[in-house]
A and B are shown apart, each in its own frame.
Chain A
Amino acid sequence: MSILINKETRVVCQGITGRAGEFHSKNCIDYGTQLVCGVTPGKGGQEVLGVPVYDTVAEAVEKQGVDASMIFVPPAFTGNAIIEAADAGIKTIVAITEGVPVLDMVRVYDKIKNMDDVTLIGPNCPGVITSDECKIGIMPGYIHKKGNVGVMSRSGTLTYEAVWQLSEVGLGQSTCVGLGGDPIVGTSFIDLFKLYQEDEQTEAIIMIGEIGGTAEEEAAAFVKEHVTKPVAAFIAGRTAPPGKRMGHAGAIISGGKGTAEEKIAALEGAGIEVAQSPADMGTAIQRAMAK
Chain B
Amino acid sequence: MKIHEYQAKQLLRDAKIAVPESIVARSAAEAADAFTKLGGPIAVVKAQIHAGGRGKGTIKSNPEQHGVQLVKSADEASTVAESLLGKELVTIQTGPAGKQVQQVLVEAGCDIARELYLGIVVDRAGGLPVLMVSSEGGMNIEEVAAKTPELIFKEHFHPDKGLQTAQVAILCQKLDITGDSVKSAEHFMTSLCKLFVDLDCSIAEINPLVVTGSGDIIALDAKITFDDNALFRHKELEELRDLSEEDPAEVRAGEAGLSYVQLEGNIGCLVNGAGLAMSTMDLIKLHGGEPANFLDVGGSAGVEQVTEAFRILLGDKEVKAVLVNIFGGIMRCTTIANAILEAYKQVGFNVPLVVRLEGTEVKEGRKLLAESDVDIIAATDLTDAANKVVAAAS
Contacting chain B: which of A31-39, A41-49, A57-65, A273-281?
A273-281
CB contact under 8 A between A181 and B275, given known A157-B327, A160-B359, A243-B93: yes
Q: DSSP class of B's interface residues: helix, strand, loop or mixed?
A: mixed
Q: Would you call B273 and A155 a contact (CB within 8 A)?
A: yes
Q: Would you call B382 and A184 a contact (CB within 8 A)?
A: no
Q: How far is the CA of A106 from the CA of B359 in the complex (A)?
A: 35
Chain A interfacial residues counted at CB < 8 A? 62
Q: Would you call B200 and A153 a contact (CB within 8 A)?
A: no
Residues 149-197 (chain B) with a chain A CB within 8 angstroms = 158-160, 197
Interchain nearest-CB distance for B386 vs A (Å): 8
Contact with B along A241-272 (1 / 0, CB 8 A): 10111111111000110001000000000000
Q: Please indicate the chain B residues that have their CB under 8 angstroms from the CB of A241 in the complex.
A: 261, 263
Asked if B283 is at the interface of the complex by the 8 Å CB criterion, the answer is yes
CB-contact partner of B275 in A157, A239, A245, under 8 A: A157
Q: Would you call A256 and B127 a contact (CB within 8 A)?
A: no
Asked if B294 is at the interface of the complex by the 8 Å CB criterion, the answer is yes
Asked if A126 is at the interface of the complex by the 8 Å CB criterion, the answer is yes
CB-contact partner of B383 in A104, A247, A277, under 8 A: A277
Q: DSSP class of A's interface residues: helix, strand, loop or mixed?
A: loop
Asked if B276 is at the interface of the complex by the 8 Å CB criterion, the answer is yes
Asked if A193 is at the interface of the complex by the 8 Å CB criterion, the answer is no
Interchain nearest-CB distance for B46 vs A (Å): 21
Q: Would you call B272 and A157 a contact (CB within 8 A)?
A: yes
Q: Please indicate the chain B residues that have their CB under 8 angstroms from the CB of A218 in the complex.
A: 125
Asked if A226 is at the interface of the complex by the 8 Å CB criterion, the answer is no
Chain B interfacial residues counted at CB < 8 A? 59
Q: Would you call A210 and B383 a contact (CB within 8 A)?
A: no
Q: Would you call A239 and B285 a contact (CB within 8 A)?
A: yes
Q: How far is the CA of A218 from the CA of B125 in the complex (A)?
A: 9
CB contact under 8 A between A157 and B273, given known A110-B158, A138-B330, A244-B261: yes
**Residues of B at under 8 Å CB distance from A?**
93, 122, 124-125, 127-129, 141-142, 145-146, 158-160, 197, 200, 202, 227-230, 232-233, 259, 261, 263, 271-286, 291, 294, 296, 299-300, 327-331, 358-360, 381-383, 386
**Residues of A at under 8 Å CB distance from B?**
20, 75-76, 99-104, 106-107, 109-110, 113, 126, 138-140, 143, 153-161, 164, 181, 183-184, 208, 210-211, 213-215, 218, 234, 236-241, 243-251, 255-256, 260, 276-279
23 of the cross-chain contacts (CB-CB < 8 Å) are A101-B230, A103-B129, A103-B197, A103-B200, A104-B230, A110-B128, A138-B330, A140-B328, A155-B273, A156-B276, A157-B329, A158-B273, A160-B359, A161-B327, A164-B358, A183-B124, A236-B278, A241-B263, A249-B228, A256-B146, A260-B282, A278-B279, A278-B382
Interchain residue pairs A-B with the least CB separation, the first 10: A155-B275, A247-B274, A157-B273, A158-B275, A101-B230, A278-B279, A279-B382, A157-B276, A237-B278, A236-B278
